[in-house]
Structure 1
Amino acid sequence: MTLLPVDEALERILDGVKALPGEMVPIEEADGRVLAAPLSAMRTQPPFDASAMDGYAVRAADVETPRAVRLRVIGESAAGNRFHGAVGASEAVRIFTGAPVPEGADTILIQENADLLDDGSIEATSTVASGRHIRRAGLDFVEGDVVLEQGRRLGPAGVGLAAAAGHAMLSVTERPLVAIIATGDELVRPGEACGPDQIVASNGFAIGALAKSEGAQILDLGIVGDDSAEITAAVQRAAAAGAHVLVTLGGASVGARDLVRQALLDAGMSLDFWKIAMRPGKPLMFGRLEHRNSRNPDSTSRPDTTGTMRVLGLPGNPVSSLVCAHLFLRPLVARLGQRSHTPDLRAAVLASALRENDDRRDYIRASVASGPEGLIATPFSLQDSSMLTTLAAANALIVREPGAPAAEPGSRCRVLMLA
């Protein structure tokens, strides 16, 4: 059986994937969400010429020569409470940061450069050019300006900008719903007592965290035993919830107790491929399952819909599972969420030798650090696909193509950065 190349597998997984539709959310809930449409300013910022400093609004012509003119202070302009009047010759208005600049004034004499005299007037101790310390109306943006582009994932600065532009509600792309099923009689949840033949289920938490980092919401369907009926029921729950992606963990290999693939086929999944030419992660499965859901679990108003649930059957070994998720789940979730995912591939130099590769693309856990001539990649000596300690310690994967010859220390290589 010829194994499917990694790049072709990714192309098939992403084939036909379109961004999910938009929905309106309050700005308080917009952090981390992706804009479904360009965002235009509903107001001008600042809406008026504003002082950038505490001091005095004056005419530049009156302060051309230090201490040449006494300026009579005729009022005060504060943020939220402007001075209603005009500044004339030899006059000044006390002003504070953010306050509107009064009519007639064309510069700000900062308070450090003004001497307050006994009669309440002031003298400039330094000259000030016209326009100094004034934020002109529209300096930041003008009503109608596109301030945030479609597809932008909002962070604190983006949320703040949207608020400043006058938006209380934002149109954001619906978050991809990723359902996760862990399978195996040997699994127990963290904190539960382990029997003599059991292990703690860890994959689901790692995969869920990775999917959430790409903007997904997670539907954890828990641990399902090695029972076809239980697996089928869990798949049906994912479909009923309207999951865009179903991730199964383990149980998709060729053993007599590996029941996931057949259960999915019995549920109507169209199998695209099973097994790919990579290490770790050879037993990766991908298919599509048409479904009808009653509503999104986070919504009370979404009508019945039909759609395609993409199914990723990840290997049971935790390293294999997470490496496959980096390569295939992340770009799938990103595309559904109207974002692009570009793998962070970089050139590096090997710190130690690597043996020749076979017919699968190899992803070798490594530590990458900066050296005098670029990045240096140090592969871990143990690469067993069950060892999470090395994956947790790794910040990159060395990517070796099928048939790559043995490599000596100092050889060039490619690394996929993980963090």
Structure 2
Amino acid sequence: MSTRTGTGPLAGIKVIELGAFIAGPFCGQILADLGADVVKVEPPSGGDAMRQWGAVQRDGKSLWWPVIARNKQSVTLDLRTAEGQEIVRKLAREADVLIENFRPGTLEKWNLSPEALQADNERLIVGRVSGFGQTGPYRNRAGFGAIAEAMAGLRNLAGYPDQPPPRVGVSIGDSLAGMFTVIGILAALEARHGSGRGQTVDVGITDSILGVLESVVSEYSATGAIRRRTGSTLPGIAPSNLYPTADGSWILIAGNGDGIFRRLVTAMGRPELGEDPRYATHRERGIRQRELDDLIASWTRTRTIADLLDLMEEHGVPAGPVSDAADVAGNPHFRERGTVVDIETEDYGTLAMQGVVPRLSETPGSIRWVGPPLGAHTDRILAERLGLDEQALADLRARGVI
């Protein structure tokens, strides 16, 4: 397995990743993709739970782990032991960033608080992710992403009004928290150029969900209006919906701008609708949203998805299919851009996965290797960074510290 250093914009930035599951490790994945030197610390027995997670596996192995742990180096340490804690303190003395997503108070219990770590390394940035953040009356509550999605108002907006609010289909709350933590870490790295000091980045999953809720809170504050679940439509914005096709597929058409709507009805062979006072303006279309959706659906049902997509492209109308994983993996646009890439792996052969986001023109990130075996880099990291010899490593292993 190659462990060559990154060449992206964060090359040379040393990161220690503690914690498990999704939010903290996804933050680490993004930093590693962009070239940071990420050392992932895992418990010796079993490692990160993500090594076992995923509804679909291959030969009993997680297909999530190769993605969320890619470009990272795995070091095993039992953080419940004084020796394991001391090793983390020593590693953190030379690090730029430490990421953790334990319940608030856990680092403090292990004598690894940001204050203690920064006393030894004033340049250290500590990214802390938790369900509800490090302060506030809920700080000590256990909080997975699903709970935060519900409590912060996201679940109330997803799905149809006559059905229970569903999950989005991916761990969106955890992923948003990981992304906001990356933003905070990058901002702290920039601030460090001036101050010479690190700082603590405090991100709650609930904070992150609220951060993308648009004007939901302001709407309530100003008018008392509470945004509700509306299924596949956006109330007052028409036409913008899913429409059935002749071959049993669905096409999403967004023709809600005045000019776009005229192009849409021209494609439908009904150009007169573009000048009809009932549909000619954004406001009037919004009032008649349901009848307009019915009219468009009656047309799309007579065409295949391929025909419709060709027509929409020809007339400059935003449209797209509802893709599944097979569609995404084979999409020529995603392949050309590197949004989906094939990676050669020891355990899975050629494995397709999402590429690095964002794309930088001069210092792009890269996928250098997939999630490593448990403890694959323990000896090398502890020897190179702490000067431990083979006997010291053997003694730590015998005591279950590594």
TM-score by structure 1 length? 0.25
More strand by share: 1
More helix by share: 2
